[in-house]
């Protein structure tokens, strides 16, 4: 399943096309299904639905619930874990409960809310339920506060306000129940926003990231802790900021991470010795395992 109705449709089409090509190269029969609306039907004798959807509908638990009703096997997290992970506030709450390190935060639902008492810039403002850095704003000055809120609120009725963590930007892929090598992300200009994320050549990636072994273990443990806190299964990608002293701070969990040519989970898998096609195969196998368990 690829495409879909979300703001991330174009990226999803690219992810899905790459996955379909890889699975066909392994000899699988692959049917591409674009669920633009609720009228979609699975092809007969579908063994596994490979979810290459991103954003609302695909990543928020909606399509997973429908597939559960159909009794279909599908890749990735179940409906409830997807719902929690797609909601940045629920994810933060689960992390706090599980003592997974994450930045101080609050939730705002109006552009008229004044600057939060006791907070200092810089802050990060982002829609509660969007992915791929859609609507992400950085507030470096108090006078930019209202404008940032208005922009982020275009994409959701609530926005998450976080202290901006200064440090190195990383992401950790989880495959099975194991963290993959850490990827460090360094945009050449500006922040790791939608444009830098999906335009080849605008961002440098280092994998495995150059941390000492103790810091590497801390960052991977934080990522795995967040994955477990939201009830994740099969795979995900967890974004983690690493302070200068080596302290990890989890930002969010992506339950259906990008699978395009610039995506980070395939880079991490490659560093662990899995090429792109092998990664896709492993994702399918993790879903098929559930059939063996339930029989």
Contact 237, 174 (CB under 8 A): yes
Reported as type and span, the H/E element at residue 223 is: helix 213-229
Pairing of strands 159-163, 137-139: unpaired
Identify whether 39 is a catalytic site residue.
no
Contact 91, 230 (CB under 8 A): yes
Query: Which one of 8, 162, 169, 184 is the catalytic residue?
Result: 8
User: Which residues in 64-146 belong to E strands, given as ranges?
Assistant: 105-108, 123-127, 137-139
Helices (H), 73-203: 79-86, 88-97, 145-152, 194-198
CA distances from 25 to 51, 74, 219, 274, 275 (A): 18, 20, 34, 15, 12
> 174: closest CA among 233, 215, 97?
233
Reported as type and span, the H/E element at residue 186 is: strand 183-187
Identify whether 169 is a catalytic site residue.
no
Contact 248, 101 (CB under 8 A): yes
Identify whether 191 is a catalytic site residue.
no
> 134: closest CA among 88, 173, 101?
88
Query: Which one of 132, 169, 184, 193 is the catalytic residue?
Result: 132
Identify whether 254 is a catalytic site residue.
yes
Query: Which one of 4, 94, 252, 276 is the catalytic residue?
Result: 252
Identify whether 225 is a catalytic site residue.
no
Query: Which one of 173, 254, 263, 276 is the catalytic residue?
Result: 254
Q: What is the DSSP letter of 231?
A: T
Identify whether 8 is a catalytic site residue.
yes
Identify whether 132 is a catalytic site residue.
yes
* C-alpha 274, offset from chain centre: 20
Query: Which one of 9, 237, 263, 276 is the catalytic residue?
Result: 237
Query: Which one of 78, 193, 234, 239 is the catalytic residue?
Result: 239
Identify whether 34 is a catalytic site residue.
no
Q: What is the DSSP letter of 144?
A: G
176 three-state secondary structure:
coil
Query: Which one of 3, 258, 263, 276 is the catalytic residue?
Result: 258
Q: Which residues are catalytic?
A: 8, 132, 198, 237, 239, 252, 254, 258
């Amino acid at each position: 399943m690829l495409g879909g109705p979300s703001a991330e449709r174009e990226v999803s089409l690219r992810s899905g096309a790459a996955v379909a090509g890889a699975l066909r190269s392994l000899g699988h029969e692959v049917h591409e299904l674009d669920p633009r609306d609720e009228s979609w039907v699975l092809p007969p004798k579908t063994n596994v639905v490979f979810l290459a959807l991103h954003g609302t509908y695909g990543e928020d638990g909606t399509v997973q619930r429908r597939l559960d009703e159909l009794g279909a096997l599908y890749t990735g997290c179940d409906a409830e874990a997807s719902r929690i992970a797609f909601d940045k506030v629920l994810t933060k709450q689960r992390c706090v409960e599980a003592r997974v390190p994450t930045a101080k935060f609050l939730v705002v639902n109006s552009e008229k809310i004044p600057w939060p008492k006791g907070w200092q810039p810089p802050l990060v403002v982002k829609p509660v339920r969007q992915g791929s850095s859609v609507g992400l704003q950085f507030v470096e000055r108090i006078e930019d506060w209202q404008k940032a809120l208005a922009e982020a609120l275009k994409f959701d009725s609530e926005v998450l306000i976080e202290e901006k963590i200064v440090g190195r930007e990383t992401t950790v892929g989880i495959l099975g129940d194991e963290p993959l090598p850490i990827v460090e992300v360094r945009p050449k200009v500006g922040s790791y926003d939608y444009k830098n994320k999906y335009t080849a050549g605008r961002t440098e990636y280092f994998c495995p990231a150059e941390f000492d072994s103790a810091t590497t273990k801390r960052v991977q443990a934080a990522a795995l802790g967040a994955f477990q806190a939201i009830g994740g299964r099969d795979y995900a990608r967890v974004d983690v900021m690493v302070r200068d002293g080596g302290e990890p701070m989890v930002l969010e969990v992506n339950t259906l991470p990008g699978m395009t040519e610039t995506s980070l989970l395939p880079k991490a898998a490659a560093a662990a010795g899995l090429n792109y096609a092998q990664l896709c195969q492993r994702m399918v196998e993790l879903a098929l395992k559930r059939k063996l368990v339930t029989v």
